């Protein structure tokens, strides 16, 4: 009976005989699209079933106390699942993908294929105010990464497969193949070449087609165009874009601040208590914060007037007070970020795709209602159209991805007739937020540590380089009380030109350069007259194992050195980095990175 290892060896032999690497990559990208589409369908079904079973008997006329219970249960179950089953951190899905691409050769752990699906289904089904999209993107990237690892593909091909999984996830869960492709280019920042374009397209189209087969070809959100594009509304679109950009800035900075508070809380149960109580109270006061919030989006996109929009206040303490509708929606905009952060900070699992769409829809609706109420410029605007445009603006601002926002909203709603307004709002929102925040909510943590892959080729290559791969480790070291005789022994048994001097705690106290002692090394009569402490010098600078390669090269340039010592977090000597080794590694990574 054939073992799995023999089967894999046979497949690899067949591949080498009949297929090129690029052809094989396209085949694998097809299966990535199939698997991620099935995973996305399963996740949406699980969320829908859990949510329906818990809330279908709620009456719209009054608040329901179970809103105070369900979210806590969901976060608690998710926390137990992650802590005792997964035993790994699975939050910040897109950030994890960016880190894997930049620092882990695109390797993503196997459990991410299924763990994010289960955890996010529990969190969102029980009311967690987050989205399912980031977890399913991590699932798709994990599928691509692990298929690439199984078939022993190169680092560049692994990166493309990770992108295929992400593209297929967006395409499948949103029925948006173009948005899936653009998301990978804008957010994951994988460069577009012919070798990457075809697999990404295959994965996106496959996932979308399979989703169409199971759930139909209708857009995710029903949308009926209220008015066609009018040139005289361009100033209004610009103002909406700026409003969305400022709202995105509020969302990003508030979320970062709140996450910082949760990080300082020690113990999972304290986090659960703080996050669960905050989320439950907010959902009790504002039921649209329950889950992904897609019901409110559909309501605002298709409502015909006050009688329809009043349904936004169903099951809340505001029910029946139509004059408080805008205040109610404004409070939802303010507190949505608190609800989303409390969900993840308390131990839940989810992303910010859905919160961005949700917030954008509400902001666009509020903007248009206020515009019409105060008859600004004597020009009325269609509320439904502006609710849709707001979704594009918020997503473009929060994710720093205007093209993703444009194509995603057009495909989500079928609103292709408003392509020009979508472009105006997306660009204005993006330009507004980058004036304050140069990186997206996904990328800012990695950018601060120099671990963010970008479209800048030089910076991207340096990011992909591993610090450990260029460190020269030393088996033997010198101590300050050693004699010149001991140094001569080391020199005779080594090809190195620089030698570390450490104390007994392995902390670097100096270095000895061969060029400095060459005139002494052959004079045996001096062997007992000189100690290492007299021969050593201080290095011009010291590097840390946590330094990025970009920092390493800058230090080399500023000190005009050819070799520098590296220390760990405890200040212990690790080894030397030679500038020649860095440049050689750079050339090799650049060659691999640029191969088309």
User: What CATH number has the domain bearing residue 488?
Assistant: 3.10.580.10
* 467 in the same domain as 445: no
Residue position matching structure tokens 């977890």 = 135
Same domain as 409, residue 306: yes
Torsion angles phi and psi, residue 525, rounded to 5: -70, -15
- 348 vs 341: CA distance, rounded Å: 9
Specify which residues 575 forms β-bridges with: 566
Residues 256 and 315 in one domain: yes
Distance of CA 34 to the CA centre of its chain: 23
Are 159 and 251 found together in one domain?
no
Domain co-membership, 443 together with 484: no
**Same domain, yes or no, for 120 and 251?**
no
Residue 454 domain-assigned? no
The residues near 23 (Cβ < 8 Å, ≥ 6 apart) are: none
Q: How would DSSP label each residue in 472-498?
A: E--S--B-TT-BHHHHHHHHHT---SE
- How many CB atoms neighbour CB 373 within 10 A? 9
CATH number at residue 137: 1.10.3080.10
Indicate whether 127 and 261 sit together in one domain.
no
Q: Which residues pair with 508 in a beta bridge?
A: 502
Boundaries of domain holding 283: 231-449
> Would you write out the chain's pLDDT as a tens digit for each of its 596 residues?
456 677 777 777 777 777 777 888 899 999 999 999 999 999 999 999 998 898 878 777 667 888 889 999 999 999 999 988 988 877 766 777 777 776 666 788 889 899 999 999 999 999 999 988 889 999 999 999 999 888 888 777 888 899 999 999 999 999 999 999 998 888 776 666 667 789 999 999 999 999 999 998 888 888 877 778 888 899 999 999 999 999 999 999 999 899 889 989 988 899 999 999 999 999 999 999 998 989 899 999 888 877 788 888 887 888 878 788 999 999 999 999 999 999 999 999 998 889 999 999 999 999 999 999 988 888 889 999 999 999 999 999 999 989 999 999 988 887 778 889 999 999 999 999 999 988 777 766 655 555 444 444 455 555 556 677 788 888 788 888 888 888 888 877 777 888 889 998 889 999 988 888 888 877 877 778 888 888 888 999 998 888 777 788 888 888 888 888 999 888 889 888 888 877 777 666 655 555 54
Of the residues 418, 449, 480, the one at which a domain ends:
449
11 occurs within a structural domain: no
- Please give the helix or strand (H or E) that residue 205 lies within, else none: helix 194-215
Please tell me the distance from the alpha carbon of residue 278 to that of residue 2, in angstroms, as a whole number: 55
513 in a structural domain = yes
Q: Which residues of 278-290 are buried (b: 16+ CB within 10 A; e: fewer)?
A: bbbbbbbbbbbbb
Number of structural domains in the chain: 3
Statement to judge: residues 57 and 136 lie in one domain: yes
Residue 511 located in a structural domain: yes
513 DSSP β-pair partners:
498
- Are residues 381 and 279 part of one domain? yes
> Using an 8 Å Cβ cutoff, are 223 and 384 in contact?
yes
Report how far apart, in Å, the C-alpha atoms of 136 and of each of 31, 158, 194 are: 16, 18, 26
* Whether residue 151 is found in the same domain as residue 237: no
Residues 246 and 278 grouped into a single domain: yes
Number of residues that make up the chain? 596
Half-sphere exposure of 492 (CA within 13 A, CB side): 8
Assess if residue 243 is contained within a domain: yes
Q: What angle do CA 260, 266, 269 make, to 5 degrees?
A: 110
Sheet with 543-544, side-by-side order of all strands: 471-472, 573-578, 563-567, 543-544
1, part of any domain: no
Name beta bridge partners: 566.
543, 575
Last residue of a domain, one of 421, 449, 477: 449
Are 65 and 210 in a shared domain? Answer: yes
Burial, 47: exposed, middle or buried (Cβ in 10 Å; 0-12, 13-18, 19+)?
buried
Q: Return the DSSP state at 507.
A: B
Count CB-CB contacts under 10 A for residue 176: 26
In order of 126, 132, 135, 202, 567, the CA distances from 161 in angstroms are 33, 21, 17, 11, 35
Within a domain: residue 224?
no
On whether residue 222 sits in a domain, the answer given is: no
Token pair recorded at residue 342: 């409390």
Q: What is the DSSP letter of 513?
A: E
């Amino acid at each position: 009976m054939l073992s799995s290892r023999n089967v894999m060896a046979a497949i690899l032999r067949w591949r080498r005989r009949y297929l090129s690497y690029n052809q094989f990559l396209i085949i694998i990208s097809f299966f990535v699209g199939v698997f991620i589409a099935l995973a996305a369908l399963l996740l949406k079904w699980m969320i829908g079933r859990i949510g329906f079973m818990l809330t279908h008997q709620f009456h719209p006329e009054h608040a329901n106390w179970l809103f105070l219970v369900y979210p806590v249960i969901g976060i608690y179950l998710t926390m137990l699942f992650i802590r005792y089953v997964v035993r790994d951190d699975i939050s910040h899905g897109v950030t994890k993908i960016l880190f894997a691409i930049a620092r882990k050769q695109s390797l993503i752990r196997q459990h991410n294929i299924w763990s994010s699906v289960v955890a996010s289904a529990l969190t969102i089904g029980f009311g967690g105010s987050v989205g399912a999209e980031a977890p399913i993107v991590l699932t798709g990237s994990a599928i691509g990464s692990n298929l690439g690892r199984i078939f022993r593909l190169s680092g560049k091909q692994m990166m493309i497969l990770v992108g295929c999984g992400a593209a297929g996830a967006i395409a499948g869960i949103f029925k948006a193949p173009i948005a899936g492709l653009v998301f990978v280019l804008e957010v994951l920042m994988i460069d577009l070449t012919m070798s990457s374009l075809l697999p990404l397209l295959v994965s996106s189209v496959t996932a979308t087609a399979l989703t169409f087969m199971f759930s139909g070809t209708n857009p995710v959100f029903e949308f009926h165009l209220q008015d066609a594009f009018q040139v005289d509304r361009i100033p209004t679109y610009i103002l909406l874009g700026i409003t969305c950009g400022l709202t995105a800035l509020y969302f990003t900075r508030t979320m970062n601040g709140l996450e910082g508070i949760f990080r300082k809380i020690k113990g999972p149960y304290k986090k659960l208590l703080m996050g669960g109580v905050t989320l439950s109270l907010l959902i009790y006061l504002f039921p649209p914060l329950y889950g992904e919030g897609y019901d409110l989006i559909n309501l605002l996109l298709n409502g015909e007037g006050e009688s329809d929009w009043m349904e936004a206040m169903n099951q809340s303490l505001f029910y029946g007070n139509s004059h408080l509708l805008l205040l109610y929606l404004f409070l939802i905009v303010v507190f949505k970020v608190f609800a989303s952060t409390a969900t993840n900070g308390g131990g839940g699992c989810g992303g910010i795709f859905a919160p961005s769409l949700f917030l954008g829809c509400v902001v666009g609706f509020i903007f248009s209602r206020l515009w019409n109420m105060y008859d600004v410029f004597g020009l009325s605007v269609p509320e439904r159209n502006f609710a849709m445009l707001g979704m594009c603006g918020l997503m473009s601002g929060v994710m720093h991805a205007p093209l993703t926002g444009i194509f995603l909203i057009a495909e989500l709603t079928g609103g292709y007739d408003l392509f020009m307004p979508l472009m105006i709002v997306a660009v204005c929102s993006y330009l507004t937020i980058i004036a304050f925040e140069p990186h997206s909510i996904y990328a800012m943590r990695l950018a601060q540590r120099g671990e963010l892959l970008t479209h800048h080729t030089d910076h991207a290559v340096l990011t992909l380089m591993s610090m450990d791969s260029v460190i020269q480790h030393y088996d033997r070291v010198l101590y300050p009380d050693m004699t010149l005789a001991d140094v001569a022994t080391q020199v005779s048994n080594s090809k190195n030109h620089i030698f570390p001097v450490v104390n007994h705690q392995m902390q670097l106290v100096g270095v000895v350069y061969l060029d400095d002692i060459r005139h002494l090394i052959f004079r045996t009569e001096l062997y007992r007259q000189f100690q290492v402490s007299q021969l050593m010098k201080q290095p011009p600078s010291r590097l840390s194992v946590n330094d990025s390669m970009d920092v390493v090269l800058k230090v080399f340039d500023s000190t005009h050195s050819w070799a520098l010592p590296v220390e760990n977090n405890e200040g212990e000597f690790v080894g030397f980095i030679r500038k020649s080794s860095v440049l050689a590694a750079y050339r090799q990574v650049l060659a691999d990175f640029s191969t088309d």
